Structure 1
Amino acid sequence: MLVIGGIQGDEPGGFLAASIVATDYNITKGSLWVVPNLNFPSIIQRNRGTKGDMNRKFGHIDQDDPDFKAVTNIKKVIADQNVSLVLNLHDGSGFYRPNYINEDENPRKWGNTCIIDQERLEGAKYPDLNAIATRVKDKINENILNQKHTYFIKNTQTAKGDLEMLKSLTYYAVTQDKSAFANEASKNLNAEQRTYYHLLAIEEYMRVVGIEFTRPFKLTVQDVKKAIEKEIRLSFYDDAFVLNIHNLKGALNFVPLKKSEINYSSSNPLIAVIKEQNGYKVQYGNRFVTRLNPQYFEHVEPLKDISLIVDGKNLNAKSGDKIGVKNSFNIAKQSEIRTNVIGYNSKNIDEAGENITKNRMLKSFSIDKEGNVYRVEFYKKQEGKDKFAGMILVEFR
């Protein structure tokens, strides 16, 4: 089964659900492929399509189209012999109803629907598209939050002449004999509610194809919100400098970066670090996280062995670790290494060997809004100048 999110960048329910499945779910039987950020530039810019609507480029796309590579690559994935069922995730307007009720609930709306292009697809592994969509619809409706959120099936009957849907990803999948569906959550709902409905749909489609799974949270709106807002790790230069993307301040100053092109990785596929005129902007999908105002340094190999005492106990850490502290911590001195505890007011240039408590930290230098998380940075003297040698985070709990 192939799950796709983010084909349109202003539909966060879809790409948030796909990213949660990619990072949090454990597949215990079967095979699930997830593309959570198909149109990443549009996600970052909160735009339906920065280069036009990507979901209208599957009938034909010119080689000079900026989306050519992404569309061509996902077509190859869809056509792969291992893929039997394709699910494309969207957020749609209003609430679809078979009959007109009002401006927000009528046949022209797309929200809260299971979309199929046709009732059956002979030659596909799962040919009865209508029966499968009905099963998913019924499962979602057993768990709806409000009667207004009731799901319906919307059959676009694409092959009969829907000129727009003929250009779509799901219809391309149909032409490759793949059972294809779209799930639409209403744009009238907040992000966690949309994500909740997408996860309900994803899980039932997985059951249809025999995929078994576990997840580390209950499928409730409250727990989905926690999953969206969970701590995400962002690493620069192979853990030389690490941030945990949770409740960060809107700007972080004096971030020790290299002057060369930035290099980063993250535990979540929706994290992006974007160059600006005087620094970098960090995004989580289409949510702004923080702005990094750099102080440029040459870097040496990040420290792999950092000794410290935390609440009276000896610990060893490496660059990029986060250490929980209840009362105090003390960094052991190292030859040729200078320790700088950002936000600690000391008379000494090297702050190793000092017993540091939270009441001696300046809250304005914390990286989080509550004033609990602080950077401890290490510098090595070489060729007469300080070179950055890694860091750890300490979190007062």
Structure 2
Amino acid sequence: MRPDIAYDCDVLVVGGGIVGLSTAFAISRAAPGTRVTVLEKEPGPARHQTGRNSGVIHSGIYYRPGSLKARFAVRGAAEMVKFCAEYGIAHAVTGKLIVATGRQELPRLHALVQRGRENGIPVRELGAAQIAEYEPEVRGLAAIRVGTTGICDFVGVARQLAEASGAEIRYGARVVRVDRRPERGVAVATARGDVVRARVLVNCAGLYCDEVARLTGDDPGVRIVPFRGEYYELARPELVRGLVYPVPDPAFPFLGVHLTRGVAGDVHVGPNAVPALAREGYGWGVVRPRELAGTLSWPGAWRIARRHWRYGAGELRRSVSRTAFTEAVRRLLPAVGEEDLVPTAAGVRAQAVLRDGTLLDDFLIRESARAVHVLNAPSPAATASLPIGREVARRALTALASA
């Protein structure tokens, strides 16, 4: 290491969502005195995936036992509740129902019971009549109740992580160039002309994590293919007491249209999952040709389309037709009508896709010289953000020690 290099920080985190801020927080706890800077291109934290989701603290019941998702979600759910209680952030442990509305879903529902038990999650099986004990307006053939699921204000969590981390947070700092040299560290240039020099870079850029990896000189091996999730708000929130989910299709990393009562008492309905025409494509009118071309040039995107076109057609239909969306909701909540669904803000999921069209289901963290890349952190990343942050921090500090 050359002694004449002046570093602005020890660890530079790109991305001010909940994972990036949790990483900064974890570094400050594990190695006090480590200088951490966070670059976030927006004027504030948690403006994308963190702040545009259902606000659910997931139990971990869906995830393959032993996977990072399962381990981090189960651990992270308990830690998130504790964190919110400690810092006075709005939250509640509500429990949720997963409801089978067709006989073909019953084997998948029973498989979830087994998976939940393997992951150490308490699950109660319900018959059709017992569903009404929790949700009088919901109908189904059978259900399971997962008691450890909750809700919280993830934007509030992100703000608290930023404050408690002690890191220097630079907003409005979009990364445009990265110069990484093993003997000199990492120099990052932002769109407004600033240059930040660090010993180690941590890439938590979410929707742009693969692009930041390439700027660093690394081949991420995946492409972020953005999927928009569209939501409605229920005009009659009294129809739903808590959280109600359909039985998910295991072929897809999406949970289907569900009903979620938030910390403010409002009820969100959704999301679907449709291709976005930009990485921040929160509506059909948002098109960024360069980003769309990048998606279309990735072989995996076409393989997804060929493999799952029937599923995709149904999602597109629900996107353009409120009637179709209402039909999907009525399977769970027969009392709902089109007039009960009020459009609200959409979200975009940063889904990592392999060249062969595989949708990565688990978290993906890769390391290279002086860099740690978080390349897939979809739901339940917000739930699991505290243990994910510790894992990323551990790898970053290991890289720092050898720098």
What is the TM-score with the length of structure 1 in the denominator? 0.25
Q: Which structure dedicates a bigger proportion of its chain to helix?
A: 2
What is the TM-score with the length of structure 2 in the denominator? 0.24
**More contact order relative to length (CA 8 Å, sep ≥ 6):** 2
Q: Which structure dedicates a bigger proportion of its chain to strand?
A: 1
